[in-house]
Amino acid sequence: MTTEPTTFAHHLSQDPVPDEVRTAVLADPGFGTTFTDHMVKIDWSGDVVRGTGRWSDPRIEPYGPLVLDPAAAVLHYGQEIFEGLKAYRHADGSVWTFRADANADRLNRSARRLALPELPEQLFLDALRELVRVDEQWVPDGDGESLYLRPFMIATEAFLGVRPAREVLFSVIASPAGNYFGGPVKPVDIWLSRDYARAGRGGTGAAKCGGNYAASLVAQLEGDAHGCQQVMFLDRDRGDAVEELGGMNVFFVHEDGRLVTPELTGTILEGVTRRSIIQLAKDRGLSVEERRFTLDEWREGWRAGTITEAFACGTAAVITPIGRLVSAEEVIGDEGARPGEVTMDIRKQLLEIQTGRAEDPHGWLTRLV
Ligand code: COI
């Protein structure tokens, strides 16, 4: 069975990004375009079918291209999963991560669905800590900024038969991040995908795998053409139940203070931010309903004024107000709507916990540096 390696070898970069370049990047990090000097790599070989295998050679290497055999299974059959979480700079200079155990758990749920090996939680946490320690200077300290951590696992075995790969790489890269949508937080418009689904029953919707995001792109293109920043997918088989956006969960705020979010049906990604918002809302005495929520209910609630706010959430998006839902047939939501009060309040509280400016009542933070 799996043997847990304990120490990471350090092969440090001989050519790190110059201080002045890094400083310029950190002044306006954007999202997902610049990467730190190092990355984590851990190899696995074994046989998931037999439940045998071993993680080996955990290491920090200079950030750089991967060498892959052109027959690597990931390139042909998409056997890949990933995670997204962040490291936050606190006022005293320390660096913390948020609910990394939940990401480790989800990585392993995704691994089981994609027939990839599970990674011991301790190794996942050690990998994050090792990378953030060597690239600590890359953690920004501006408002709403963080170091985005992207763990991922790919099937590297060169074999064209369709079966779970027997060689796998787990890696973590890191990228300084500001607002996912760029600029200050403002409501985003969402395109309603009528022709495309993101996931189906028995599919991979609940797993964080690249294929789900690839499947969302054609709908996202439609959205781009209509000036929308994200795309909303529905479950047509459940009476146009609202599912999730291309890369984010959604919540609806009601005038009586209730929050409603689509229940987890197996086709929706279980967001760590989603779960945290549910807890924080309950802590403030708000009632939260996880249930089927349909497009009709959204339309009627908006028209009647009983749904007062909608927002998107995810590690990358944090909490982002939704302005309007746009489709070829209709628009739900008001043009020029301002960010909702409840939305911005929960966003503020979440960010304050993450950045150490508010108490962490649930012990969600783990110190990395
Ligand atoms: C995240 O929020 O971390 C995600 O993985 C979604 C991203 C692909 C936009």
Please name which of 185, 205, 131, 151 lies closest in space to residue 350, comparing C-alpha atoms. Answer: 185
Look up residue 293 and give its DSSP letter. Answer: -
**Structural domain of residue 251, as residue ranges?**
188-354
Distance CA 264, CA 242 (A): 11
Domain annotation covers residue 369: no
CATH number of 312's domain: 3.20.10.10
Residues 197 and 344 in one domain: yes
- CA of 365 relative to ligand 1 center, distance in Å: 19
Write out the DSSP string of 267-283.
Answer: SS---HHHHHHHHHHHH
105 and 218 assigned to the same domain: no
Mutating to test ligand 1, I would choose from 315, 318, 320, 350 the residue with most ligand atoms within 8 A of its C-beta, which is: 315
Asked whether residue 367 is assigned to any structural domain, the reply reads no
Q: Is residue 267 located within the same domain as residue 142? A: no
Q: Is residue 90 part of a domain?
A: yes
* Whether residue 22 sits in one domain with residue 155: yes
Distance CA 108, CA 103 (A): 9
The residues near 207 (Cβ < 8 Å, ≥ 6 apart) are 81, 109, 110, 113, 114, 269
Q: Is the pLDDT of residue 1 over 50?
A: no
Residues 149 and 200 in one domain: no
Range 147-171 average pLDDT: 98
**CA distance readout (Å), 73 to 92, 119, 161:** 45, 19, 9
pLDDT tens string 287-326 = 999 999 999 999 999 999 999 999 999 999 999 999 999 9
Residue 361 included in any domain: no
Bridge partners of 331, per DSSP, are: 326
pLDDT tens, 166-210?
Answer: 999 999 999 999 999 998 899 999 999 999 999 999 999 999 999
Asked if residue 245 and residue 123 are part of one domain, the reply reads no
Looking at the CA of residue 83, tell me the nearest atom of ligand 1.
5
In a domain, 287, yes or no: yes
Question: Residue 79's pLDDT is what?
Answer: 98
Last residue of a domain, which of 178, 199, 219?
A: 178
pLDDT in tens, 79-106: 999 999 999 999 999 999 999 999 999 9
247 lines ligand 1 (CB under 6 A): yes
Residues 165 and 206 in one domain: no
Question: Do residue 227 and residue 153 come from a single domain?
Answer: no
With contact defined as beta carbons under 8 Å apart, do 251 and 310 qualify?
yes
2 pLDDT above the threshold of 70:
no
The CA 237 to ligand 1 mean position distance, Å, reads 26
Q: Provide the residue type at 101 as one letter.
A: D
Q: Give the three-state DSSP class for 166.
A: coil
**CA 265 to ligand 1 center in whole angstroms:** 20
Is the minimum distance from the CB of 84 to ligand 1 under 6 angstroms? yes
Is position 368 within any domain?
no
Domain count, the chain: 2
**Within a domain: 195:** yes
pLDDT of residue 183: 87
- Compute the distance between CA of residue 176 and CA of residue 77 in angstroms, rounded to an integer: 30
CATH number, position 126: 3.30.470.10
Neighbouring CB atoms inside 10 A of 97's CB total: 25
Ligand 1 pocket, residue 271 CB under 6 Å = no
**Ligand 1 centroid – CA 218 distance (Å):** 17
Atom 3 (ligand 1): residue with closest C-alpha?
84
When the pLDDT of each residue in the chain is averaged and rounded to a whole number, the result is: 96
- Which residue do the tokens 């996880």 mark? 290
Distance 107 CA to ligand 1 centre (A): 13
pTM for this entry:
0.96
Strand blocks (E) in 3-126: 9-10, 38-47, 52-62, 80-82, 85-89, 95-98
Q: Are residues 230 and 297 in the same domain?
A: yes
Domain boundary among 178, 199, 220: 178
DSSP letter assigned to residue 233: E
Average pLDDT of the segment spanning 127-143: 97
The reply to whether ligand 1 has any atom less than 6 angstroms from the CB of 315 is yes
| Domain closes at, from 178, 205, 237 | 178
* 157 CA → ligand 1 middle, Å: 27
Residues 247 and 152 in one domain: no
Residue closest by Cα to atom 7 of ligand 1 = 247
Q: If phi over 0 gives left and psi between -120 and 50 gives alpha, with beta otherwise, what is residue 144? A: left
Indicate if 117 and 215 belong to the same structural domain: no
CA of 271 to the centre of ligand 1 (A): 9
Please choose from 148, 152, 248, 275 the residue to mutate so as to test ligand 1's pocket, defined by most ligand atoms within 8 A of CB: 248
Strands 318-326 and 188-192: parallel
Residue 314, phi then psi, degrees to nearest 5: 180, 170
Are 269 and 243 contained in the same domain? Answer: yes
Residue 363 lies in a domain: no
- Residue 288 CA, ligand 1 centroid: distance in Å: 23
- Residue 361 CB contacts under 8 Å (≥ 6 apart), including other chains: 283
Q: What is the CA radius of gyration of the chain?
A: 21
